[in-house]
Amino acid sequence: MAEIRFHNTMSGVTEPFVPLVPGEVRAYTCGPTVYDFAHVGNFRTFVFQDVLRRYLKSRGYRVIQVMNVTDVDDRIIQKAAAAGVSIRDYTDKYIQAYLDDRRALNLEPPEHIARATEHIDDMVELIQRLTEKGYTYTSEGSTYFRISKFPSYGKLSKIDVAGMQTGARVDMDRYDKDNARDFALWKAPKPGEHFWETPIGPGRPGWHIECSAMAMKYLGETLDIHSGGVDLTFPHHENEIAQSEGATGKQFARYWLHAEHLLVDHEKMSKSMGNFATLRELFSHGHKPSSVRFLLASVPYRSQLNFSPESLQGAASSVERLRNFILRLHSVKFPEGSSPAMSERVAKAREDFDRGLADDLNTAQALAAIFDLVRDVNIAMDRGEFRQGDAAPVLALMDSFDAIFAVLHDDDAEKLHALGLIEDSSGPSDAEIDALLAERQAARKRRDFTASDRIRDQLAERGIMLEDSPDGAIRWKRK
Ligand code: AMP
Ligand code: ZN
């Protein structure tokens, strides 16, 4: 199998991936800030992180993934205060929504989901360690990280800190490169704000410290992969490195992977631009969870992806094409035997698929390998050249595909039902449809066309349309 290579933001090049402990990958994923529903741009990054995780598992690694949930930061405090509720009550709702959305997109649950507010003690301890080593100072009850004490500050985002004014501070959690300053590790409480009483004084954590504290708590002082969207490179990840490496003196993360943005009309999708769509909005406009997942996974994570309803429709037809292909493979009785040419063709597709993913998760190349094979197999079937024995290796490759892309199972209706977006997912399950189709096939074989038509009508009443094709395959669709 091809050597796995990832683009490491730290080195700026695509490098062979070798985890610290053989056979095991310890990965940290920057999760959502739960001040609102996540938008499809956020999910671009979360889908990338899921593809990464699934791919490493498919290559035999044991993956231990930790994802934080930022449930306290500037925006959450403001929004909870405006709504007149505690930050716990305010964020609970959005955490639940986020987890439900993840399920809709078949995102596998990370091994640890860590809520910032449940790790205040770990953050305080880390700040104390930094203080012991002389990396911090306090001002008006807040504790700041002194970036001039950490000479490699800027190494990830490549900002030049040479001319910066020593001692200039920033209190906001989010700021840009032009404002690179000493940043807040711990913030003194403002009147009326929620705060924790701790050995470093009353207050609440700055945003960056949670990821250092939680990553090291669950994964040890040096992790294999740290990932997030490109906007996190500065200041968030830069600050995480300063905090973690300042405290431990060890390399914090060996590979830094950053997903490019999802754009709308060439602008980053973001809450502040107002150009965002939540998953629920897309689903209630008739788009399927599998189309969203397919679209987000189909463009390699380091390329920007311009989002449009048309691109979602394109994704929907791609998924449908693949699902119909699987159905054809399962439902048609091909001539006995197998063909060496087809076996070679499938082996080549598998090789191309593997090579694409190994090359910094080039999902577009991996997908091209699959769609080329689908086209060739369909042609072979149309010509009567495809044999029964050829089906198993093709299906095995489609299984490998779906272990990563996760779109083949037709459960979109169930997912929309689970989100409360459609009232009725009581249509027949795939298994029920398959059983009825087998019954109908048997009826047709004994030339009992009354029974066969009755089954067709029953299915139609329950929203399932059948298409008989000349080669004897039966395809079905949910209306
Ligand atoms: P946040 O909830 O703002 O902390 O963001 C959660 C994740 O979504 C982070 O990894 C961000 O980098 C990522 N993100 C935010 N906007 C976009 C976008 N338009 N495209 C891709 N990723 C994004
Ligand atoms: Zn983070």
Measured by CA distance, the residue closest to atom 5 of ligand 1 is 32
Residues contacting residue 431 through CB under 8 Å, at least 6 positions apart: none
Average pLDDT, integer, range 390-407: 98
What angle, rounded to 10 degrees, do the helices at 388-405 and 363-382 form? 160
Q: Which ligand is nearest to the Cα of residue 94, counting in written order?
A: 1
- Gap between the Cα atoms of 281 and 279, Å rounded: 5
Give residue 27 CA to ligand 2 midpoint distance, Å. 12
Indicate which atom in ligand 1 lies nearest the CA of residue 38. Answer: 2
Average pLDDT, integer, range 59-72: 98
* Residue 414 CB-density burial (10 A; 0-12 exposed, 13-18 middle, 19+ buried): middle
Q: Which ligand is nearest to the Cα of residue 95, counting in written order?
A: 1
Indicate which atom in ligand 1 lies nearest the CA of residue 45. Answer: 22
Measured by CA distance, the residue closest to atom 15 of ligand 1 is 42
Measured by CA distance, the residue closest to atom 12 of ligand 1 is 229
Give residue 301 CA to ligand 1 midpoint distance, Å. 13
Q: Which ligand is nearest to the Cα of residue 210, counting in written order?
A: 2
Instruction: Tell whether the model's pLDDT for residue 13 goes beyond 80.
Output: yes
Pocket of ligand 1, beta carbon within 6 A: 30, 32-33, 41-42, 44-45, 228-229, 231-232, 259, 261-262, 268-270
**Strands 5-8 and 13-16: what pairing?**
antiparallel
Counting Cα atoms < 13 Å in the Cβ hemisphere of 382 gives: 7
Q: Under DSSP, is residue 4 helix (H, G, I), strand (E, B) or coil? A: coil
CA dihedral in degrees (356, 358, 362, 363; nearest 10)? 80
Digit-coded pLDDT (tens) for 416-470: 999 998 877 667 777 778 888 888 888 888 888 888 888 888 888 888 888 877 6
Indicate which atom in ligand 1 lies nearest the CA of residue 34. Answer: 2
* Residue 112 CB-density burial (10 A; 0-12 exposed, 13-18 middle, 19+ buried): middle
In whole angstroms, how large is the CA radius of gyration of the chain?
Answer: 26
Q: Which has more pLDDT, 450 or 25?
A: 25
Phi-psi region of 472 (alpha: psi -120 to 50; beta: other; left: phi over 0): left
pLDDT of res. 470:
67
Give residue 285 CA to ligand 1 midpoint distance, Å. 23
Assess contact for 333 and 472: CB atoms under 8 A: yes
Instruction: Tell whether the model's pLDDT for residue 92 goes beyond 70.
Output: yes
Average pLDDT, integer, range 143-162: 94
Digit-coded pLDDT (tens) for 272-320: 899 999 999 999 999 999 999 999 999 999 999 999 999 999 999 999 9
Q: Under DSSP, is residue 67 helix (H, G, I), strand (E, B) or coil? A: strand
Indicate which atom in ligand 1 lies nearest the CA of residue 31. Answer: 6
Indicate which atom in ligand 1 lies nearest the CA of residue 276. Answer: 19
Give residue 228 CA to ligand 1 midpoint distance, Å. 7
Measured by CA distance, the residue closest to atom 3 of ligand 1 is 33
Give residue 473 CA to ligand 2 midpoint distance, Å. 50
Measured by CA distance, the residue closest to atom 7 of ligand 1 is 42
Q: Under DSSP, is residue 412 helix (H, G, I), strand (E, B) or coil? A: helix
Average pLDDT, integer, range 231-240: 97
Average pLDDT, integer, range 218-244: 98
Lowest mean pLDDT among 77-86, 87-96, 360-369: 77-86
Instruction: Tell whether the model's pLDDT for residue 239 goes beyond 80.
Output: yes
Indicate which atom in ligand 1 lies nearest the CA of residue 42. Answer: 8
Measured by CA distance, the residue closest to atom 14 of ligand 1 is 42
Give residue 156 CA to ligand 2 midpoint distance, Å. 14
Average pLDDT, integer, range 150-170: 89
Measured by CA distance, the residue closest to atom 18 of ligand 1 is 41
Digit-coded pLDDT (tens) for 30-39: 999 999 999 9
Q: Which ligand is nearest to the Cα of residue 238, counting in written order?
A: 2
Give residue 208 CA to ligand 2 midpoint distance, Å. 6
What is the band of 74 on the pLDDT scale with cuts at 50, 70, 90? confident
Average pLDDT, integer, range 116-139: 98
% pLDDT > 70, the chain:
99
Indicate which atom in ligand 1 lies nearest the CA of residue 231. Answer: 12
Which residue type sits at 214? M
Q: Which ligand is nearest to the Cα of residue 277, counting in written order?
A: 1
DSSP 237: I
pLDDT of res. 462:
80
Q: Which ligand is nearest to the Cα of residue 226, counting in written order?
A: 2
Torsion over CA: 90, 92, 94, 95 (sign): positive
Assess contact for 227 and 258: CB atoms under 8 A: yes
Give residue 405 CA to ligand 1 midpoint distance, Å. 21
Give residue 37 CA to ligand 1 midpoint distance, Å. 12
Give residue 445 CA to ligand 1 midpoint distance, Å. 55
Provide φ and ψ at 146, rounded to 5°: -90, 105
- Mean residue pLDDT across the chain: 94
Give residue 262 CA to ligand 2 midpoint distance, Å. 19
From 34, 36, 45, 295, mutation site for ligand 1 pocket: most ligand atoms within 8 A of C-beta: 45
% pLDDT > 90, the chain:
80
Which residue type sits at 111? E
